[in-house]
Amino acid sequence: MSDSKVTASHLGRLALIYVRQSTLSQVERNRESTARQYDLVARATELGWPRAAVRVIDDDLGVSGASAAGRTGFAGLAAQVGLGQVGIVVALEVSRLARNNADWYRLLDLAGMTDTLIADADGLYHPAMFNDRLVLGMKGTMSEAELHILRARLDGGIRNKAARGELRRALPVGLVWSDDPAGGIVFHPDEAVIGVISAIFERFATAGSVRATWLWLREQGLKFPLQPAAYLHGHDIVWSEPTYHGVHNVLTHPAYAGAYTFARTRQQRYVDEDGNVRTRRTKLAQPDWGVLIEDHHRGFIDWETYLSNQARIGKNIRPMAHQPGTGAIREGCALLQGLATCGTCGRKLAVYYDGAHKSTPGYYCTGTGQLVEGRGTRHMRVGGAAIDTAVTQAFMAALAPTAVQACVAAAEAVEHGHDTAIEQRRRQVEVARYQAARAERRYLAVDPDNRLVARGLEADWEHALAALADAETDLARYHAARPKTLTDTERAAIARLGGDLDAVWAAPTTTDRDRKQILHTLLDEVNITICRDRKGGQGRLLLRWKGGASTELTVTIKRSPPAIRTNEDTVALVRRLAGHYPDATIAGILNRQGRQTARGLTFTGGRVQGLRHHWQIPCHQRSGSDQQPDGELLTVADAAVALGLATSTLHRWVSTGFIAGEQVTPGAPWQIRLTDEIRNLFVDTAPAGWLATLEATLAYGVSRQTLMQRVKRGELQAVHVRTGRRKGLRFQPPIPQPGLFETLQSAIGAV
């Protein structure tokens, strides 16, 4: 069989057979389609290609053709087509090559430029011919549209079923789909699983944070159930150590509140750093969920409790710097953390701590008041010791009538929490006993002569018996540590203790976290308004209790005296200058820089001396010379005498950069480190041939300022003649350069 479009040029190149199935399940089940694609080798040989020139590309089996990303086979095919190594590309249909027009037209462009044919079950096409390209383009468009239609149908059916709450998807541990097709979501049949999930919700209601609930599980030694994703309808459970992520998922998943949800995440496409198209899932806010059916099934908590739990968890985020904490109780002795609000703007107050050991609390508002020198000032910053004391006294007075009942309820809560842990341990013992019995039955059922299997089953049985022994020992130990039920004598003792709440509050065993937790049980907010004067001020506190009641208090706020302290930069500068100058000179330097004392006065020698004595700064020690390893450090006047120059001349050379000068700080006197190199710059007689300033500007063709810049950068050498009638600078003459005529003559002579 031959075709008029096939030429000798095509037959001299390769024939590529492209084989692809969209998913691995299609590769496994639709074997007839895969076999038809492999049979296309015979189609290529019928068109005239020898069998040795036919190559099969099947690297993309099980990969979708919606994109070229991840399809190494298609990428290799396109590369060979672009290099002109392919005479024909054969596929069962166009959709096998690409279901994306961007990838499809890119292949068509390469095939048209390299004279490559494309064949499918319907015919043979040349992409360089208009009619064939038109047909191939329509097939590619229909292939992409077909994929869109298939996706739309499948997605529409899934969403329609999910809208009725009948779409069966993987559930979190503790919930399973009923075996009855008409049934819905039910609790897991294992009581141990239900027990630990219920314990998590009960503990969170008391602890108030995910982390505290997780730590409680670890402290009680309780295991956490895991349900592998493969068991969508099964009941297999794996027990492991509780993790924060697992506890957080239990407390935040809406299925535990009896709600059916769908499309809580959204898939987004993006381009990574390597230019590859990637996908990621992002969580959506509750109003953006695709489906939300409340009271769809029986839950561990109701929907209102779930919403309050989410709001509580959302507030438990650790605040950033200079941000108030509004969530979980944290460390620190500021008792009103999360409760105090600003009486001016209503914001939550942030906490700060003063003192050597950061033991004095205070509160400040994160909002800014008026602008002072371009910076916003806090309209509230107040010490918290007096405020905390006043709120504590008001809280004790309100709690006194119910103190006894609160103490008894606290003791009963401890007993209840311990009973919950014991019940969960009993369930774990039952699970371990069942696993041991099952391992025993499996071992007894095996043929004794099959020692390879018997030894493995025997090891499993021994492992199950050891796990059972550990579970029973743990149950016995924890049961022995259970708090005893309160007797009448103990209740009377608690009643006496409840009558002395102040002693309980101030007890060393009561932590600041405990105190703040107690305040949060009754208080919703403490609004603080400060009215100050020169002597101090008064704080008006408005305590808003849970339930709507409120209490007003007045607290006297003492005004702390302003700290008199010299600027740290000034102290550091005095420390540097003291090793070089006397106190009077240092005072002049500080005044020239506009610095002042702690009381806003100018500096004198005596004030500098007092500052040095306070900060234990040693004074300047006069000596014959301050010889340094790299030269003698002198003032400008002393250096001028040593060099035989006028002081004004040396000042001029320092300002122009002819010689380097040093300053300890801006405003301090200039100093010169007199080295042999600087001494060699000042001579009595200039070297032969060196030019004066005017002659040097003409010779170099630049200005005097440019000459000095070159000297400063080390590009030009110069000396200063200090004797004779023509005193001043002498510059090194330029090196003669050959002219254009001499250069041409040298080049001709070389030839």
Residues with catalytic roles: 22
**Closest alpha carbon to 195 in 419, 418, 423:** 423
Handedness of CA 443, 449, 451, 452 (dihedral sign): negative
90 by DSSP, 3-state: which? Answer: strand
Chain-centre distance of CA 123, in angstroms? 57
> CA 617, CA 570: separation in Å to the nearest integer?
13
Tell me the DSSP string of 426-484: HHHHHHHHHHHHHHHHHHHHS-TT-HHHHHHHHHHHHHHHHHHHHHHHHHHHHHHTPPP
- Residue 629 tokens read as 């390893």
Q: Across the strands, what pairs with 80?
A: none
CA distances, 430 to each of 73, 191, 197, 433 (Å): 55, 10, 17, 5
> CA 174, CA 245: separation in Å to the nearest integer?
16
Phi-psi region of 83 (alpha: psi -120 to 50; beta: other; left: phi over 0): alpha
> CA 673, CA 633: separation in Å to the nearest integer?
4
> CA 205, CA 312: separation in Å to the nearest integer?
10
SS3 letters for 371-427?
EECCEEEECCEEECHHHHHHHHHHHHHHHHHHHHHHHHHHHHHHHHHHHHHHHHHHH
26 by DSSP, 3-state: which? Answer: helix
Task: Decide if 486 contacts 461 (C-beta within 8 A).
Answer: no
* Beta-sheet pairing, 349-354 with 360-365: antiparallel
> CA 723, CA 733: separation in Å to the nearest integer?
21
Task: Decide if 387 contacts 541 (C-beta within 8 A).
Answer: yes
> CA 286, CA 261: separation in Å to the nearest integer?
10
Chain-centre distance of CA 726, in angstroms? 72
Where in 533-638 does DSSP place strands (E)?
A: 536-545, 550-558, 627-628, 631-635
> CA 436, CA 429: separation in Å to the nearest integer?
10
**Closest alpha carbon to 310 in 296, 327, 329:** 327
**H/E segment holding residue 218:** helix 210-220
**Closest alpha carbon to 732 in 720, 715, 716, 709:** 716
Angle, nearest 10°, between helix axes 191-207 and 403-445?
Answer: 150
- Residue 340 tokens read as 């105090």
CB neighbours of 566 closer than 8 A, spacing ≥ 6? 597, 598, 611
> CA 99, CA 420: separation in Å to the nearest integer?
58
Q: Across the strands, what pairs with 185?
A: 177
CA distances, 82 to each of 14, 78, 108, 124 (Å): 13, 6, 10, 19
User: Cα-flanking dihedrals φ and ψ of residue 97, to 5°?
Assistant: -75, -45
Task: Decide if 262 contacts 289 (C-beta within 8 A).
Answer: yes
Task: Decide if 384 contacts 390 (C-beta within 8 A).
Answer: no
